[in-house]
């Protein structure tokens, strides 16, 4: 018995298998998923850079974990950090966060600029330092190794890090310990130390006398030392009490035994109160006069307004350098504000050359510097007491009224008086910093270069800019002194009279617009025209060139500078600015002879009527006839109207 009771089901089963195999054969196999690229796949040169820069690798670099610091950027190139340093750095260096509670923080770290000292991928030095630690420190702290003799600690393998911490510390100057404890860690023989210090037990304050880095003698003493200390006469000022070296009472009285009290009109308050140690160190200092710190820093202790000088735009150079003693005395003076000299003389002790020119600004000549300048700082350039324009106008009031005029010279408009004037003295009139035109070329040099190779207008060639222009302002464009025709007619007076007297005037001349046609500074064209005469004329009179390219031009009209064959360019007693009567102009070239009469159908033409039939500039044919013609005339038939004048 067959297992397939019905042949139909068998065929149906086979058909389904075939369809299934066909379908599965058409379906492609899933392609294996591509491995995602890592950073090195796109930045293959990076590995070479890492190897070249050094053996010490940043941990994320060593672990190929670029995403530890960077965001992936896709097709848009760039370096995208996950966060700004130092927050980014603290993601890993968490243990360093607590150190921020220490009193003293290294300045670059305080600003969050870790990369002043460290490389970010790899380095030649441990801790990814950009240089060996001592060299790196000295790249900023250059002055500490200026002395002849060097502290041996600097030659230690650790260099600066032997005494200092690199990031934060609870001791001043980032010291690992109190200064004296650090000193004793090397200088352990106290008996020897006592002998070196005149057999005196000092109170563990080594750096009050010694420079911990370098010095100009083997003892590494600071450069300015109290003479008594060098001589070992410590008991002039000190006594032993309870086995400790302490200062005597009325110590300032002891100072005055050597430093006699001075008197003067102006006395420094600490000096008056005999508080010597408000300003001075008792033993030694890096600063002249054994000051506790640089003069500027000492002064700021009382004169706190000097601590905010950064907010000002302009600082007196001694103030900027903290050198108060450049102008002031420290104790007493016979001048106000403890000045070394009166305020009229003291400025000139440095600024000697400001009044050595022929012409002098009155305040400068009178040595009245503080009329214009602040002594210490200002929000205005040059230590001015107010902005330059307002300051100048406070005296030059008439000049201030020029601000209301139509056209202002740009430096004048902006109040930049010193662009052109020297505020103290000058060898040139009106305190100009140079003579014209050299002064003008300081700004208008590109303008000057445009005219170097051209024929130049006489006033321009002589550099007489102010013959035509006002230096500050004017009611006319380009700061010209008056209407341009008035300026021109001062030299071209005959032309001016003609324009005013003749009945027919060229419109630009009639409108006082000389520079419509002329370049007033120079040109390569006749009469300083802006273009060749023909091009210039047809730029307005477009119709006259109608037949010059397609047709027949009148030869005198198209000839170079041909317009003046028939026309005056400014004014005339004849219509159309003709230089003669119309009856004369044509017959200058065209004699009325048999040939001409024959060309006019044996009719003698009227001298004054040439342009009745002819276009004087050009025409469609060589007869130069007007394009719109009376029908009989267009056929050459004149006799219906004219009997003829052949004789």
Tell me the per-residue pLDDT of 42-79, one tens digit each, with 9 for 90 and over.
Answer: 888 888 888 888 899 999 988 888 888 998 876 677 77
What's the confidence (pLDDT) of residue 45? 85
What's the confidence (pLDDT) of residue 647? 44
Decide: 209 and 221 in contact? Cβ < 8 Å.
yes
Q: What is the 3-state secondary structure (H, E, C) of 551-571?
A: CEECHHHHCCCHHHHCECCCE
pLDDT per residue over 277-325, tens digit each? Answer: 999 998 999 999 999 999 989 999 999 888 888 889 999 999 999 999 9
Buried b (16+ CB within 10 A) or exposed e, 87-96: ebbeeeeeee
What's the confidence (pLDDT) of residue 195? 87
Residue 30 — very low, low, confident or very high, per pLDDT cuts 50/70/90?
low
CA-to-CA distance for 457 and 538, rounded, in angstroms? 24
DSSP 8-state assignment for residue 238 = E
Decide: 169 and 104 in contact? Cβ < 8 Å.
yes
Residues in Cβ contact with 237 at an 8 Å cutoff, skipping those fewer than 6 apart: 228, 247, 248, 251, 254, 282
What's the confidence (pLDDT) of residue 85? 86
Position 152 pLDDT exceeds 80: yes
Alpha carbon of residue 642 to chain centroid: 82
pLDDT per residue over 578-601, tens digit each? Answer: 998 887 888 888 888 888 888 888
Position 466 pLDDT exceeds 50: yes
Sign of CA dihedral 317, 320, 326, 327: positive
Position 10 pLDDT exceeds 70: no
Q: Which sequence spans correspond to the domains of the chain?
A: 341-482
pLDDT per residue over 232-252, tens digit each? Answer: 888 888 888 887 778 888 888
Position 608 pLDDT exceeds 90: no
Both tokens of residue 303?
A: 């004169």
DSSP 8-state assignment for residue 549 = S
Decide: 521 and 453 in contact? Cβ < 8 Å.
no
CA-to-CA distance for 185 and 171, rounded, in angstroms? 16
CA-to-CA distance for 558 and 556, rounded, in angstroms? 6
Both tokens of residue 605?
A: 């033409």
Give burial (CB, 10 Å; 0-12/13-18/19+) of 226: buried
Decide: 638 and 603 in contact? Cβ < 8 Å.
yes
Q: What is the CA radius of gyration of the chain?
A: 48
Position 1 pLDDT exceeds 50: no
Residue 2 — very low, low, confident or very high, per pLDDT cuts 50/70/90?
very low
Residues in Cβ contact with 340 at an 8 Å cutoff, skipping those fewer than 6 apart: 327, 328, 329, 333, 346, 349
Residues in Cβ contact with 589 at an 8 Å cutoff, skipping those fewer than 6 apart: 556
Residue 13 — very low, low, confident or very high, per pLDDT cuts 50/70/90?
low
Both tokens of residue 237?
A: 């000022």
Q: Give the mean pLDDT of 504-508.
A: 94
CA-to-CA distance for 410 and 609, rounded, in angstroms? 57
Helix (H) or strand (E) holding 194: helix 190-196
What's the confidence (pLDDT) of residue 646? 44
Both tokens of residue 510?
A: 């009639």
CA dist 146 → 135, 152, 224, 419, 528 (Å):
14, 15, 15, 43, 69
pLDDT per residue over 203-230, tens digit each? Answer: 678 888 999 999 998 999 999 999 998 8
Spell out the long-range contacts of 218-223 with Cβ–Cβ below 8 A and sequence spacing 24 or more. 218/149, 220/147, 220/149, 220/151, 221/284, 222/284, 222/285, 222/286, 223/285, 223/286
Decide: 479 and 413 in contact? Cβ < 8 Å.
no
Both tokens of residue 36?
A: 């995602």
Residues in the chain: 647
Phi, psi of 365 (to 5 degrees): -60, -35
Position 422 pLDDT exceeds 90: yes
Phi, psi of 592 (to 5 degrees): -85, 90
Residues in Cβ contact with 50 at an 8 Å cutoff, skipping those fewer than 6 apart: 57, 61, 121, 122
Please count the other Cβ atoms lying within 10 Å of the Cβ belonging to residue 632: 13
pLDDT per residue over 155-192, tens digit each? Answer: 877 889 999 999 999 999 999 999 988 998 888 888 88
Percent of all residues in the chain with a pLDDT value above 90, rounded to a whole number: 51
For the chain, the helix, strand and coil percentages under 3-state DSSP, each to the nearest 5: 45, 10, 45
Sign of CA dihedral 354, 360, 366, 372: negative
Angle at alpha carbon of residue 72, lines to 66 and 73, rounded to 5°: 135
CA-to-CA distance for 477 and 469, rounded, in angstroms? 10
Q: Give the mean pLDDT of 274-278.
A: 91
**Residues facing 245 on adjacent strands:** 240
What's the confidence (pLDDT) of residue 180? 87
Alpha carbon of residue 310 to chain centroid: 20
CA dist 361 → 369, 430, 635 (Å):
11, 9, 86
Q: Give the mean pLDDT of 90-117.
A: 89
Residue 494 — very low, low, confident or very high, per pLDDT cuts 50/70/90?
very high
Helix (H) or strand (E) holding 380: none
Decide: 461 and 396 in contact? Cβ < 8 Å.
no
Q: 336 or 44, which is more confident?
A: 336
Position 644 pLDDT exceeds 70: no
């Amino acid at each position: 018995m067959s297992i397939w009771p019905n042949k139909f089901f068998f065929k149906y089963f086979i058909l389904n298998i075939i369809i299934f195999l066909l379908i599965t054969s058409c379906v492609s196999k899933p392609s294996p998923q591509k491995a995602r690229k890592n950073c090195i796949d796109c930045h293959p040169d990076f590995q070479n850079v890492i190897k070249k820069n050094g053996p010490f690798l940043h941990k994320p670099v060593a672990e190929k974990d670029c995403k530890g610091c960077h965001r992936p950027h896709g097709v848009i190139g760039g370096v995208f950090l996950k966060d700004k340093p130092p927050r980014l750095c603290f993601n890993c260096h968490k243990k360093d966060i607590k150190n921020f509670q220490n009193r003293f923080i290294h300045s670059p770290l305080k600003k969050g600029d870790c990369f002043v000292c460290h490389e970010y991928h790899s380095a030649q030095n441990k801790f990814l330092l950009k240089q060996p630690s001592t060299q790196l420190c000295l790249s900023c702290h250059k002055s500490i190794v200026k002395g002849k003799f060097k502290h041996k600690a600097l030659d230690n393998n650790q260099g600066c890090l032997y005494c200092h911490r690199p990031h934060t510390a609870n001791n001043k100057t980032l010291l690992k310990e109190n200064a004296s404890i650090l000193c004793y860690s090397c200088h352990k023989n106290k008996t020897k130390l006592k002998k070196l210090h005149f057999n005196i037990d000092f109170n563990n304050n080594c750096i009050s006398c010694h420079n911990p880095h370098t010095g100009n003698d083997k003892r590494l003493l600071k450069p300015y030392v109290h003479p008594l200390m060098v001589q070992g006469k410590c008991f002039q000022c000190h006594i032993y009490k309870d086995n400790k070296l302490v200062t005597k009472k009325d110590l300032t009285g002891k100072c005055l035994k050597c430093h006699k009290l001075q008197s003067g009109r102006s006395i420094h308050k600490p000096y008056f109160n005999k508080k010597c140690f408000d300003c001075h160190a008792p033993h030694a200092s890096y600063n002249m006069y054994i000051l506790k710190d640089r003069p500027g820093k000492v002064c700021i202790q009382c004169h706190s307004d000097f601590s905010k000088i950064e907010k000002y735009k302009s600082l007196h150079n001694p103030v900027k350098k903290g050198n108060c003693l450049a102008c002031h005395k420290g104790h007493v003076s016979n001048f106000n504000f403890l000045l070394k000299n009166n305020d009229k003389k003291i400025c000139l002790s440095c600024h000697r050359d400001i009044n050595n020119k022929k012409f002098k600004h009155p305040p400068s000549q009178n040595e009245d510097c503080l009329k214009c300048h602040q002594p210490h700082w200002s929000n205005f350039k040059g230590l001015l007491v107010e902005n330059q324009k307002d300051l100048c106008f406070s005296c030059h009031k008439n000049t201030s009224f020029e601000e209301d005029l139509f056209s202002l010279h740009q430096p004048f408009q902006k109040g930049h008086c010193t662009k052109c004037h020297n505020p103290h003295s000058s060898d040139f009139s009106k305190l100009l910093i140079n003579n014209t035109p050299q002064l003008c070329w300081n700004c208008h040099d590109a303008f000057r270069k445009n005219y170097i190779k051209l024929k130049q207008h006489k006033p321009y060639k002589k550099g007489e800019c102010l013959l035509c222009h006002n230096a500050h302002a004017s009611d006319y464009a380009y700061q010209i002194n008056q209407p341009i025709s008035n300026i021109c007619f001062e030299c071209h007076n005959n032309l001016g009279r003609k324009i005013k007297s003749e009945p027919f005037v060229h419109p630009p001349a009639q409108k006082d617009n000389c520079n419509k046609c002329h370049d007033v500074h120079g040109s390569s064209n006749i009469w300083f025209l802006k273009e060749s005469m023909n091009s210039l004329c047809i730029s307005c009179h477009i119709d006259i060139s109608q037949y010059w390219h397609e047709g027949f031009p009148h030869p005198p009209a198209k000839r170079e500078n041909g317009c003046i064959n028939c026309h005056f360019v400014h004014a005339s007693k004849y219509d159309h600015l003709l230089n003669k009567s119309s009856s004369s102009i044509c017959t200058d070239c065209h004699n009325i002879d048999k040939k001409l009469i024959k060309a006019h159908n044996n009719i003698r033409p009227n001298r004054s009527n040439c342009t009745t039939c002819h276009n004087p500039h050009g025409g469609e044919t060589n007869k130069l006839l007007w394009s719109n013609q009376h029908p009989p005339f267009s056929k050459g038939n004149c006799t219906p109207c004219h009997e003829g004048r052949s004789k």
